[in-house]
Structure 1
Amino acid sequence: MKIPSFFKTPRNQKFNIAPRYYDPVKEEIEQRTSRIKKELMLENGEDVSDENFYNSRIVGSFRHGRSKTKSTAGLTQAIIIMLLVGGGAGYLYFGNLALYIFLLVSSVLLYLKVKHII
């Protein structure tokens, strides 16, 4: 018997997996199309090796993703460390005034970071 309560207790998670099946007709069609493509490439005088095909796809994928990324984590970490050290040293020398300046500067930097200016 369950004890009544105001809080909802989580239920057990159920394991649900969709069964996979093997389709021999589809597999045969894929093998035929790949064989025909290789034969057509041989007639045109192109290189048929599978290594070149996969290698070119992999290399192209990595080059594409790496060129678009821009990392500013180092700059952001340096700014945060300088603010914390400066805020701590300022508090020791100037007291509460340094905390107010620290809060002002950190809020301005947070705003600039949200607007993607920094």
Structure 2
Amino acid sequence: MKFPSLFKTPRYQRFNITPRYYDPVKEEIEQRTSLIKRELQLQKGDHSSAGSLHASRLSGSFKKARNSRKSSIGLMQMVIIMLLSAGLVGYLYFGNVALYIFLLVSSVLLYLKVKHIL
């Protein structure tokens, strides 16, 4: 059984193949020019490539969502560390009262997280 952790542990990767001649800037420029060409064809009246236009936009939106998810995980780890340190400092200054308040607040936050309210 795995215990929860605050830090991300590296996972086993079976393959790590990197292409030899890959230029991401050139590929992005080619994608943008092909997108503009398809939009111009749609404006002229050629509706044969309308489906592929939406597919390329859809795949780009998934990439953006993946990046925002990574940043939200880092933010959540930072919030957890700050709450733990605030609970420790509160316990050192105020004693058991701060510990009880910390446990109450953390249990409410955990409940809201499980119910997908927060």
What range is the shorter-chain TM-score in? 0.3 to 0.5
TM-score, normalised by the number of residues in structure 2: 0.43
Q: Using CA pairs under 8 Å that are at least 6 residues apart, name the structure with larger relative contact order, 1 or 2.
A: 2
TM-score, normalised by the number of residues in structure 1: 0.43
Please say which structure displays the higher CA radius of gyration: 1
